[in-house]
């Protein structure tokens, strides 16, 4: 089969995905001819919802559950996550060999991105002539633009270095019309062109999706999600003024920051008021929950508990910051202490709900505050430090003072690392700011692990056991060279099959 971006049938229309609610009830794709489904507005919405299900739930391997696998990849390749050596998933990413090898996650990213883009292109090609309510038609059209823009943002920020390193660097092809087996494969657009396409799609979505549209569930893209994506995309594209303007507009709509109690409940519930966008899970649709087997490092429900924290990461937090109290040495969840000899730094941020379910967070107001702060800092806007301190205050951290210029920008980037740990921003931030991965070996071989045991009468006794402590073990690139800025090891690679089959790359 030629060319992953093109030669996949349009209506792998995902109707095998029964997504989340009766809204997403669908019929098998092979029951209809491809274009038939687009004759009605409701048919186009089924394609939209099915495309979302495919994007978020499709596995290539168990280490790659949907779009969330790209978020996990970003964190595994950053500064602050330490992969547990004897557990499944993302170990090659942590050691920087997975993406450079061109297979695996590269192919999964390429396939999911272009399948989603092609489905959105089909919606946009046919919806104007479809039968149905004009308002619904306009809203679905806007959501299709938004989802296509989201995909181009992923491609722009993952397959090329920062836009200001080389605005004309080649990235990936852009497709704006439905493709078939007879479509001429595209050449690579520049990173500037791919960012501009993402921004153009998102701006069109902002016009089309009614500001008063009330979505039924948080996976659906509404006006606030588009404002958030425009804030994020303009930040990555270094359009500081627009990043500031869009994030200002969003914070007028939603400026809620979760409480300490909410923060400690496990980052697993789309009903959290701080979540702007997320992917819900149910017992019938729970594939994406599999990611919590990596993220949840403290509960016995987790199989792998592999995304542990660098011990040096804990040192970045102020005393009194409740996030710091959530990061502690511990053996494997459920391990018998008398048999355990090894501890990892466990961050109890992510926890399964009952039944091994967990919703996936995609956007929070904390991110928007920090986008707003960074954009304003780069514009020398005095409100930047206020927005940074809003996040710090909510986490009971020491407030920033007497910071400006690059010092303030660096403080904001550090806060992003602390606040957004495990949410998929680590490598993206490193690449877009032309920084190097920074990892240090943990100096102590042994630590005292303190635990509580109960005797037969229920009396508690505090004990201490000397354990082997683990920190970073991948301290350089696969060729044994040191980490540097703008390393090709940081980028997604175009899959080998695409290079073979597309002569226009």
Residues 6+ apart with CB under 8 A from 501: 2, 3, 185
- Predicted model pTM: 0.94
Handedness of CA 126, 23, 65, 199 (dihedral sign): positive
Six-digit token string for 134: 């004009």
**Alpha-carbon gap, residue 237 to 166, rounded angstroms:** 12
> How many other CB atoms are there within 10 angstroms of residue 96's CB atom?
22
- Is the pLDDT at 160 greater than 60? The verdict is yes
pLDDT of amino acid 34: 66
pLDDT of amino acid 377: 98
**Alpha-carbon gap, residue 474 to 471, rounded angstroms:** 9
pLDDT bracket for residue 185 (50, 70, 90): very high
pLDDT of amino acid 476: 98
Per the DSSP assignment, residues forming a β-bridge with 465 are: 449
**202 vs 458 pLDDT, higher one:** 202
Give the CA distances from residue 202 to residues 148, 229, 286, 298, in Å, rounded to whole numbers and listed in that order.
8, 7, 29, 38
pLDDT bracket for residue 278 (50, 70, 90): very high
- Is the pLDDT at 380 greater than 60? The verdict is yes
10 Å CB burial of residue 35 (0-12, 13-18, 19+) is middle
SS (H, E, C) 199-226: HHHHHHHHHHCCCCCCCCCCCCCCHHHH
pLDDT of amino acid 27: 28
**217 vs 2 pLDDT, higher one:** 217
What is the three-class DSSP state of 294? helix
pLDDT bracket for residue 50 (50, 70, 90): very high
Q: What is the mean pLDDT of residues 484-504?
A: 95
DSSP sequence for 4-26: TTTSS-TT---TT---SSGGG--
pLDDT of amino acid 455: 84
pLDDT of amino acid 6: 40
pLDDT of amino acid 279: 98
- Is the pLDDT at 2 greater than 60? The verdict is no
pLDDT tens digit string along 465-481? 999 999 999 999 999 99
Q: What is the mean pLDDT of residues 361-371?
A: 98
Six-digit token string for 278: 């997320």
pLDDT of amino acid 21: 33
pLDDT of amino acid 20: 33
| Pairing mode, strands 460-469 and 342-347 | parallel
pLDDT tens digit string along 234-248? 999 999 999 999 999
pLDDT of amino acid 30: 31
pLDDT bracket for residue 456 (50, 70, 90): confident
Q: Dihedrals φ, ψ of 283, to 5°?
A: -55, -30
- Is the pLDDT at 84 greater than 50? The verdict is yes
pLDDT tens digit string along 298-350? 999 999 999 999 999 999 999 999 999 999 999 999 999 989 999 999 999 99
| Chain-centre distance for alpha carbon 246 | 20
pLDDT tens digit string along 107-131? 999 999 999 999 999 999 999 999 9
Could you give the percent of the chain with pLDDT greater than 90? 87
- Indicate the DSSP class of residue 303: S
SS (H, E, C) 115-179: HHHHHHHHHHHHHHHCECCHHHHHHHHHHHHHHHHHHHHHHHHHCCCCCCCCCCCECCCCCCCCC
Tell me the pLDDT of the chain averaged across its residues. Answer: 92
Which of these ranges, 188-197, 358-367, 458-467, has the smallest mean pLDDT? 458-467
Smallest CA-to-CA distance from 413 within 384, 453, 440 is with 384
């Amino acid at each position: 089969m030629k060319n992953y971006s093109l030669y996949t049938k349009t209506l792998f229309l995902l109707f095998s995905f029964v997504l989340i609610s009766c809204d997403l009830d669908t019929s098998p794709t092979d029951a209809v001819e491809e274009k038939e489904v687009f004759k009605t507005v409701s048919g186009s919405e089924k394609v939209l919802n099915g495309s979302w299900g495919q994007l978020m739930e499709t596995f290539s391997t168990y280490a790659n559950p949907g779009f969330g696998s790209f978020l996990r990849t970003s964190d595994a390749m950053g500064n602050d996550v330490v992969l547990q050596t004897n557990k499944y998933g993302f170990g090659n990413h942590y050691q920087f060999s997975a993406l450079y090898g061109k297979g695996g996650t590269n192919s999964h990213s390429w396939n999911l991105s272009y399948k989603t883009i092609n489905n959105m292109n089909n919606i946009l090609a046919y919806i104007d002539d479809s039968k149905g309510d004009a308002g619904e038609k306009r809203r679905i059209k806007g959501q299709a633009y938004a989802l296509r823009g989201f995909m181009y943002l992923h491609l722009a920020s993952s397959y090329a270095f920062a836009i200001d390193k080389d605005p004309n660097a080649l990235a990936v092809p852009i497709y704006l019309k439905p493709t078939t087996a007879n479509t001429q494969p595209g050449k690579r657009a520049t990173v500037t062109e791919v960012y501009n396409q993402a921004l153009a799609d998102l701006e069109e979505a902002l016009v089309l999706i009614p500001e008063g549209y009330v979505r039924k569930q948080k996976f659906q893209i509404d006006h606030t999600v588009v404002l958030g994506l425009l804030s994020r995309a303009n930040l990555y594209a270094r359009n500081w003024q627009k990043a500031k303007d869009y994030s200002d507009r969003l914070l007028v709509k939603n400026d809620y920051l979760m409480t300490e109690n909410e923060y400690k409940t496990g980052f697993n519930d789309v009903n959290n008021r701080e979540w702007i966008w997320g992917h819900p899970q149910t017992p019938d649709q729970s594939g994406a929950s599999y990611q919590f087997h990596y993220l949840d490092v403290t509960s016995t429900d987790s199989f792998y508990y592999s995304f542990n924290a660098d011990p040096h990461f804990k040192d970045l937090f102020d005393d009194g910051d409740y996030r710091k109290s959530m990061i502690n040495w511990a053996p494997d969840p459920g391990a018998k202490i008398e048999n355990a000899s090894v501890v990892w730094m466990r961050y109890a941020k992510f926890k399964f709900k009952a039944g091994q379910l967990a919703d996936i967070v995609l956007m929070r107001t904390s991110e928007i505050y920090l986008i707003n702060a960074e954009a304003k800092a780069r514009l020398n806007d005095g409100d930047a430090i206020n927005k940074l301190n809003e996040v710090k205050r909510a986490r009971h951290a020491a407030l920033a003072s007497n910071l400006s210029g690059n010092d303030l920008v660096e403080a904001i980037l550090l806060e992003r690392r602390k606040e957004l740990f495990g949410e998929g921003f680590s490598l993206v931030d490193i690449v877009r700011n032309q920084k190097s991965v920074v990892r240090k070996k943990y100096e102590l071989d042994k630590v005292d692990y303190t635990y509580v045991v109960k005797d037969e009468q229920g009396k508690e006794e505090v004990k201490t056991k000397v354990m082997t402590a683990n920190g970073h073990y991948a301290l350089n690139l696969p060729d044994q060279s040191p980490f540097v800025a703008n390393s090709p090891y940081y980028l997604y690679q175009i899959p080998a099959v695409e290079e073979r089959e597309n002569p226009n790359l």
